[in-house]
Structure 1
Amino acid sequence: MTRVIATLLSVLLATILASASASSPPPSRGLEAMGAAACAETEAFCEKTILRALREDAKLRAFLEDVRQRAMYHSPGDLAGYAHAVPNPTSLRFPEQLALGCCLAAGECKTDLQYAAPADGPEETEEEEAEAIARGEADARRAAGEILLAAASHEDAGKMPAVQLLGANAHACAPPAGESRCGAKLVDAYRRAGNAGYEVGNLRAGEALLARFSGSLIADETLGCPRADARNEAGDFADAATARALFKQLLASNEHDKRASKRLKELREAEDRVASGDGPSGKPDLAYAAADALVNAVLKGVFVIVVVVVPSFLARNTRFARAVRDVAWRYSGCAMIARQFRRELEFFRFAKPRVVNGGRAAARVERRQSAKKTAKAVMKEVMKAEAKKSL
């Protein structure tokens, strides 16, 4: 029984350690993580869809080539050149907006802004060149966000619902000056994407509202809403209600249900802290945190007992369970601990010492004991014979 209990404890400990090491951390609700994902999705969609279709359209290729030439002639390597070439992007046709926006997001226009330099300029160092490339990429993304968001509002955007998510992602990738990733414009753009059938739009709209509602409750390293932005007041329960409705819609989703459930839990925590008056200070409610930790520990314990301990106990007498138990007993370290504990008990005379591998001494003891038994048996027979004679 002791070996069974020790084996079960070993299996329990190994399961807990494995689950702790294998479980991935939850995705950050920081808006910087949202922006990175939005940039990657924008570039991927443009490369696989818009720019690929652009190669088959001679008119759009000619339009882009003309815009690039005028921009390079006016201000090579500067966004001002594109502003001069296309002063009002909203006046462009819908295909032209998509073509120019994706060219700036992931095409040759972006390359022009990253690597173009004045013809007679001084030679740049590696650091200056890296800064110029990063600056050109940021300018290209910002311009692409404005153009693609305008394309999502075009009257012909209904012909291509994916443009709603494309415009929202491009805007979240690099918000223009004066905008943020938790502003009303971005939330509306993602909600339009959600209404167009893209669940990730509702998820990101809810995350932006959660970040805006939490405000100073989010630590600085999570890169939440700018605290100095007076237009994004924290603690607005209307934002919390909208975020909750968006997250609840996603609980039935096969792709975003776990993330939505996690966000609902974070939203409840933020609401409790705002309601208790801990919002501005950012200090957590210790009683709430302790209760939450206790509930999580109990739930994990019940899960491990039901899934691991009970099945292991019920199958303890099967051949497979015995084999697993022997292997676990030998290689988990329990056998070594049990041997050491037994030696300590024997040393302090709490247990009778065991004779293991006694050799010749043990053989002599065994022969003496056997001789004594034989002598006793002979004496009994002699005494019985004498008793019969005396009678």
Structure 2
Amino acid sequence: MKKTRIAIIGGGPAGLLLSHILDLKGIDSIVLERQSKDYVLKRIRAGVLEYGTIKLLRDMGLGERMDREGHLHDGTHIVWQGRDPFFIDTVKYTGKPMMAYGQTAITEDLYAAREKAGAEIIDEAADVKLHDLTSDKPYVTYVKDGRQERIDCDFIAACDGFHGIGRQSIPADILKTYEQVYPFGWLGIMSETPPLPDIIYAQHDNGFALASQRNPMLSRYYIQCDVNADLNDWSDERFWEELKIRFPEELSSQIVTGPSIEKSIAPLRSFVAEPMRYGRMFLAGDAAHIVPPTGAKGLNLAVSDVYYLARAFETHYAKGDDAYLDGYSAMALRRVWSAERLSWWLTKLLHVFPQETPFEKKVRINDYDHLCVSERAQAALAEQYIGLPFED
């Protein structure tokens, strides 16, 4: 039997960041991860950070590599077929930049920091179960190397992703879920080629496309595709050809192609679970919400959840004050729904929907035209895109 204050389920960036912050506050934790460390570090995920995420990583001593290898951006470009381009200018309207820095690199940084601090991270933990969540003595059981083990704790933080046990442990008569499934996916490719200098959304009659980056020699590109597309039908050559069609010639001519080192198709969905607390268990990150990647909010929402949750645990132990614990779900969900709305709106604006009517297309185009001429619309978009500030 093991004992800790906080049992953290999930060894991705949310769980590791929570463990790191708690350690800095003198609060011990144990992290349980279903997969191996190598598997976790090979996950390919988002790489655009809000200013609040950048600042928190720096404040927690995790910014050195990010500041050295990450790429600051004043915002994001939109190029629209047959229309003038538009720039989501976050610096102009908020004074804050974005940063391109891959989630894989953040996870590597977190693993290095936790291992240096001697943190207990138990990987390949199978059959994780959560017990007595509404009592003052919850505990976790799991199987490791064929033996069942147990962790007694004060609280459980479920940072275990969309398919994890955390959300599934909330009774069905308490849990409410909200979901929007989109009728397309993103076909993504990663290549060891110089990326375009900026993050660029492209809207085209063939569908949406995105140019992103991880470092000066690692490019990440996406194209909208049929949600049921077969990855085997998409050779590298076919992907590059279709990608270039969706960008204007002055940009497509700058795209450096090369062999893919990763290729995948991701379906798009919006999903929110409420509440984000049940007894002494708290949900954070993808365990509670999924956003379409159009708004670049997934990782950033996980970070804000962790910030709120770490602060709540700190005030509980340092001051005996549970106001932040009791308010965690409502506070986190306010930010979640703001990000969901923005991600839904950008997805609707920039993608081609299979059953879109001529009327709907005209309205979508008018939305873009209004954005291009309205300073107030531009300021509102920039404020939400950079990420709303964390609540006090």
**Structure-1-length-normalised TM-score:** 0.26
More contact order relative to length (CA 8 Å, sep ≥ 6): 2
Structure in which a larger fraction of residues adopt helix: 1
